Structure 1
Amino acid sequence: MKKHIELLELPVRFGYKHGMVSELYFHNHDETWSMNVKRSIVNMLQLNLHKMGRTDETKLERYENVRDVDNDYFTANERTIEGDCEVAYTIIKKKEDVTEVTKSVNFNKCTRRPLTKYNFRYLTECRDCKETDYFEPSTVYTYLLEKEGLKKVEVNSVYTITLENQPVMKTEVRARMVLEETKEIRHEFEWREDKKETLIYSNEVEREIERFYMEGDDVEVLPYRHIKDKVEQIRIIVDEIKELKENKQEITHLLSRLVSMFRMCTLEELTMVHNKIYMHVDVRIQKLIEHCYSIAGTKNTITHLLKHMMEMRHHMHTYRIVHLLKSIQETPYPSPKIVDELVRFAETEVVRRSPVIRQTVWLTIGSVMRGVVGFTKDEMLVREERRELKNRYLHIIKREYDQAETIYEKVLFLKSLANAGIDLSVYELEKIILNKHEELPVRMEAIDALRLLRESMPRKIQSILMPVYQNRLEQPELRMAALVRIMHTLPRQPVIVQIISTMEREPNQHVAAFTYDLLNSFVHSTHVCYKKLALEIRPLLEMTRYVRGERILTSTYKYMPMFTENMLTGINRDFATIFGKNSVWPKELMMSMDTVFNGMWNK
């Protein structure tokens, strides 16, 4: 505590002209967290009464004398601790020598913000739900000016998560600063003259933590090096869990604390936990510790867990390894080093001897690859050069695919490639889809492997699959699979017109019935993300000359939606059967499920 106070007492120097803050310099021995506290205080002093950077008036009106106006309103671009954003000023003269100024930040007009988003990897933005924002930040400053200048500042910052325009979670920060006295301090300080800082919040600490989670002990700075008793704290938490024999709410909180502690650990500390704690508890607690490693999802915990799996390969059940690997693919901190660890693990004996584990490992590898190079809604502080990684990951999976000897193996690596969601893979997948010498199940799986590219390159998918769907010389199963993937790109009217025209002239009863059922399902779907598509399909489908037959054993596609439109939330289940030419049994059964929570789509 004493050290913290000493750091907070270190000075800060900054430029202050016309009420605007610039060029911050901190003491040589200051730390990032302390500098951010000082930034928050200096930020409260920024008051742009000279309307610099004004955005709501012409250039000729920007330099008017504000002291001649009692009440005023204007907007301007301003750098605050929360980013480079547009702010709105309202000036009201209360008394002869008293003026109140209110400043609010418009977070919809920011060019830069110190923002991160984790665990959004599996979400896409609903095209028809964009007007609804689940995350609403607001910051308001209130300044009181008297004859001698700025007397008091208050700030209220609220970050709210909303559902149906109602707040469900929020964080609120209030601060107040009052001028009591002024005095001069004559003292020489050691400044960081070579490092000029800005007013924007520094996320250097968060960046170091994120890099440690993603790269492990190979980082330059170990952010938790000052915490010396991590292993002992883990022992205390484990002992508390051991005393709770039933699955009570307390165990959930203890589990969360245990995961947080594991994320702080180096590989050496995790080895100490294994030797001093893991080896001396019963099987129930051992499984819980293993589960915490996988949930933690850092480079160190994953490396330690994979090593543990190899050492315990003769004693750990297959289902247990599969369960842990599925948890690993959900890591919030995917990185190239974690991918490399998993690829090395895929070459070990524990994977080679079990087809089930091998399948799970490669599906996990693909999923983690997507977190590194895929098109996702996550916003990380540590950003990798994606182009080179995309090529390398595509080469890794393609090499395995080329070496595959069975249809099962080819399908497995196509599923891994699908999980990776690499946009460059579209060209390799196109070759497989159009290769008529390839096995039909492999070609169909290649079509399905386009599923995660529907948002980033919908037109490319349509350009590949529309000729497949319209080609009557292709297998009916392949054509129907292509149509499903086309519709999930949410095509516009010209594409829909072509699909209906093909359906009307289609001689194959299965393809025609499947097309009609699929389009009809979209028309009657209550899925909020399909609303606009349904409006485009409905009039075209009502005017079609096609009449669906009543044959029972025919290809079909059905939706089973459950949605609340005003909350933009719900669940949707898809079911499809695809029949071929030469069997009464369906060639393929498809089931999928997607959810929408307040406009964010998880498919």
Structure 2
Amino acid sequence: MRTIVFIILLGLAGRSSGLLGDQSSDDYYSTSKQSPKFKNFFYREYNTEAEQIKTPSFQEDNEYVYNYDAQVENGLLSSVDLTETKEESQQQAITRIQSQIKMYFSSERRGQLCMTQLKFGQFNDLKQMESQQCCDPMQMFEPIKIPQETRQKLELCCQFDYVDGMVVRIQFDKQDVSWSENIKRGVLNMLQMNLRQNNGQMDNEGGNKNVDRLAHGFTVPEITVEGECQTSYTINKGSMQCQENQQPCSFNITKSINFKKCSKIADLTNGFQTEQPQLKCSQCPVNEEVKEGSEEQDGTGENQCADCDTRELNENMVLDRQTIMRAMVKCGTEQKQQNNNCPNCCQLDNSEMISNYIYKNTKIESEGPYGSALRTKTCARLSLATVQTVQKPAPLAATSENDETLLYSNEWGMACRRFYMYGDEEFPDANSSPYKMPNVEQATQALQAIVQSTSDHHHGIKTKHTINLNRLVDKLRMCRYEDLKQIEQNAKNQNGEKSQKTATDVFVDSLATCGTRNCVKLLAEIIENEEVDENKAAFAINQLKNLPIPSNSILKQVKQLCQNVNVQNKPTVRQAAWLTFGALVNELCQHKSRKMMETSQDISKSIQEQCTDDKKEEYKRTLMEQYNQATTIYDKVLALSALGNAGIDTTTPYIDQIINDKSQHFIIRVKAIDALRRLYTKQPRTIQQILLPIFLNNREDTSVRSFGLSTLLRTQPEPSVVDQIFYAMRQEPNKRVKAYTYQTMKLIAESKNPADQQM
């Protein structure tokens, strides 16, 4: 179509001025002054939107100096008023950074970025009102003196390629570290403007006769610091008169990220992920290609996965996020320094990026849509100060050969995670540890402060002293095994027997809350050596269910603790140990965590390999051996409870045998049915096939039938299964089973639970 239009234009122009190809573009526009309609037609219909909008560019041998301001603000969203305006708590914790950004371009494509004149500030107090500006004035912050080593890392330069408004390749200094690189990524992220839409988008816009010539938008996939997501652009151009006069027009750009459509998200997830997605969506594949293939195989228009987006579902459950960027691009004479070689070029004058992250409160009784939720607001502004030509540029920094992207790098965070998971096994010496701080001294000080606070019987423990417990746990997580042993010895060296006992108890509780491999190893040794009483040991073991990052190495320590002779001789400790072991197996192998890791670009590298098929089989054998070796009802119930906590899908056939073994006590059979509780969403049909015959058999034990029905209904059975239950209820001779079935079905019918309503 464009070729036909161009040929027609050639014919029209040839009637008065010969071939268009013999004239320059300036001569052409000068001969067209008497026919503005024709010029308008050519400019609007032949030029695409991408040709009318010029991407910002940087000129060779020029140095661009930008002022950079950024801050991160944390606070609570306490409530929502009648006007739906969020009222924030006055208590805010804010970190502020200010810097001068120098960018030198050795060519129009290749640039170097350096951060200079760094200033940091902090604020943790009552904030009177919400500022209308992006960043609060630097004067309101308490200055922070950062170590010289930290400043030197931040001042290391990086090189990058800037092509058509995109940062396509980054090379950092060889001595730079990941946290410093991420700060520089944040600055480069504010330069990126993907104004070159693909041809399909331009064709769609060109076919719309109602397109606003002063503003238009498009959506493209784009890599930013936060992930690889669909990004929507809206461009507000200069006045219509500016365009009709063929002048270079300045314009504003607004871009927003759709986090529900991302192929990668730079997220980190710690601890238990216990929220279960809707049953119909839990079995749907995350990969779009697999999903499309399943729809084709289904052969019908009604596919239960058609409306499911597992990543979107997980996102809505955990975090509400929003990122918007606004930028001003100035062209022609409006630039800071106009380039004579390119009078129509454009340059980035300023850009501002605001991100809001709201961690939702899961409590139903919390008021408002967010309740008492935590909000993190980040804001950054980049504004052009000067542009000057550099006659003798400084030599470029020596960079690594690895090409990086804008995507957030969590290399240091991953090292910390591996330290949590493997401890001294992977970091055998102090130099290899990601933590270099004097943790022993600081942890001992925090422990002593807690012990001293307990000695004040009149006032009790003050609120500020609880901070010391968090501080102690944080320091313990950074410690190597030898450091932990030294802290334990310091706890035993307290003055007075009572202070020693208090220090030991606090230290044991802190080890359990710490939950790293080194902490679990030392805690297991303390319990095995009977250095604490039975109740304290059981309580500490139960605390291990809240591990920050479980691993096979940690489970190995817990397994050895379960099989220890001293633990086996103490029923309370043994029960806590086996139940905790089963819960940790489930946390390591559960379906939802592994799916979430597939969408995170970093954590999958070290976590996905944890629960391999071989390891899962090993854990299953350990739990089944515990059941087979049991000689009493209590021991068998304990083994089945641990097996149920583990929720291993391959144990279903063995549990089925126990359920149908009528020689077993009915309590054991009921507990075997309960062991299926973590498999409701993974194997609903298998559970129905096991339990429906149990319920329909009139000769079965009443308790087994009733509990089997309760478990069966939690799998959200199909209407055909529900019909069989109703039919059996009408024909049921056992009054207890009939009454229980009627009451259960009535409660489900009246339930406000969405899952029950769907069934």
Equivalent position of 1:258 in the other structure: 472
Shift of 1:4: 1.9
Q: Is 2:715 aligned against 1:489?
A: yes
Give the counterpart letter for 2:507 in structure 1: I
Q: Is 2:342 aligned against 1:145?
A: no
Shift of 1:16: 1.8
Counterpart contact for 2:517–2:554, Cα < 8 Å: yes
Shift of 1:160: 1.1
Percent sequence identity over aligned pairs = 29
Equivalent position of 1:292 in the other structure: 510
Taking the TM superposition and a 5 Å limit, the aligned residue runs for 1:329-368 are 329-368=545-584
Give the counterpart letter for 2:369 in structure 1: N
Q: Deviations over 1:370-422 (max 9, x none)?
A: 11112345856231432222111101111222222222222211111100111
Equivalent position of 1:12 in the other structure: 158
The more displaced of 299-308 and 464-473 is 464-473
SS at match of 2:546: coil
Q: Is 2:425 aligned against 1:227?
A: no
Shift of 1:456: 1.9
Query: Could you tell me how far apart the structure 2 residues matched to 1:442 and 1:416 are?
Result: 13
SS at match of 1:332: coil
The more displaced of 457-466 and 258-267 is 457-466
Shift of 1:226: 4.9
Equivalent position of 1:587 in the other structure: none
Taking the TM superposition and a 5 Å limit, the aligned residue runs for 1:187-206 are 187-193=395-401, 195-206=402-413
| Residue among 231, 241, 244 paired with 2:450 | 241
Taking the TM superposition and a 5 Å limit, the aligned residue runs for 1:101-120 are 101-120=253-272
Q: Is 2:647 aligned against 1:421?
A: yes
Equivalent position of 1:383 in the other structure: 607
Q: Is 2:485 aligned against 1:271?
A: yes
Give the counterpart letter for 2:196 in structure 1: H
Query: Could you tell me how far apart the structure 2 residues matched to 1:335 and 1:63 are?
Result: 55
Look at both structures and tell me which one has the larger radius of gyration over its CA atoms.
2
Shift of 1:447: 0.8
Query: Could you tell me how far apart the structure 2 residues matched to 1:448 and 1:91 are?
Result: 59
Alpha-carbon RMSD across the aligned residues, in angstroms, is 2.5
Query: Could you tell me how far apart the structure 2 residues matched to 1:494 and 1:117 are?
Result: 39
Q: Is 2:586 aligned against 1:370?
A: yes
| Residue among 400, 417, 422 paired with 2:626 | 400
The more displaced of 38-47 and 110-119 is 110-119
Equivalent position of 1:506 in the other structure: 732
Task: Name the count of aligned residue pairs.
Answer: 525
| Residue among 175, 184, 195 paired with 2:380 | 175
Q: Is 2:417 aligned against 1:210?
A: yes
Query: Could you tell me how far apart the structure 2 residues matched to 1:239 and 1:408 are?
Result: 42
| Structure 1: tracts of 5 or more residues without a match | 534-603
Query: Could you tell me how far apart the structure 2 residues matched to 1:139 and 1:79 are?
Result: 13
Shift of 1:19: 0.9
Query: Could you tell me how far apart the structure 2 residues matched to 1:68 and 1:9 are?
Result: 45
Give the counterpart letter for 1:299 in structure 2: R
SS at match of 2:548: coil
Taking the TM superposition and a 5 Å limit, the aligned residue runs for 1:513-532 are 513-532=739-758
Shift of 1:457: 1.9
Taking the TM superposition and a 5 Å limit, the aligned residue runs for 1:32-51 are 32-51=178-197
Query: Could you tell me how far apart the structure 1 residues matched to 2:192 and 2:444 are?
Result: 48
Equivalent position of 2:357 in the other structure: 159
Shift of 1:277: 3.0
Shift of 1:359: 1.5
Shift of 1:500: 0.9
Query: Could you tell me how far apart the structure 2 residues matched to 1:347 and 1:120 are?
Result: 25
Equivalent position of 1:586 in the other structure: none
Taking the TM superposition and a 5 Å limit, the aligned residue runs for 1:444-463 are 444-463=670-689
Counterpart contact for 2:173–2:398, Cα < 8 Å: yes
Equivalent position of 1:135 in the other structure: 319
Shift of 1:216: 1.0
Q: Deviations over 1:477-515 (max 9, x none)?
A: 211111111111222322211211111111111111111
Change (3 A) 1:198 1:527: same
The more displaced of 377-386 and 136-145 is 377-386
Query: Could you tell me how far apart the structure 1 residues matched to 2:510 and 2:258 are?
Result: 40
Give the counterpart letter for 2:153 in structure 1: L
Query: Could you tell me how far apart the structure 1 residues matched to 2:395 and 2:212 are?
Result: 40
TM-score relative to the length of structure 1: 0.82
Counterpart contact for 1:134–1:162, Cα < 8 Å: yes
Q: Deviations over 1:289-336 (max 9, x none)?
A: 21111111111111111111222x1x5321111111111122122111
Counterpart contact for 1:214–1:299, Cα < 8 Å: yes
Query: Could you tell me how far apart the structure 1 residues matched to 2:434 and 2:571 are?
Result: 41
Shift of 1:224: 5.2
Change (3 A) 1:260 1:121: same
Query: Could you tell me how far apart the structure 2 residues matched to 1:464 and 1:447 are?
Result: 9
Shift of 1:443: 2.0
Counterpart contact for 1:124–1:377, Cα < 8 Å: no
SS at match of 1:172: strand
Counterpart contact for 2:491–2:503, Cα < 8 Å: no
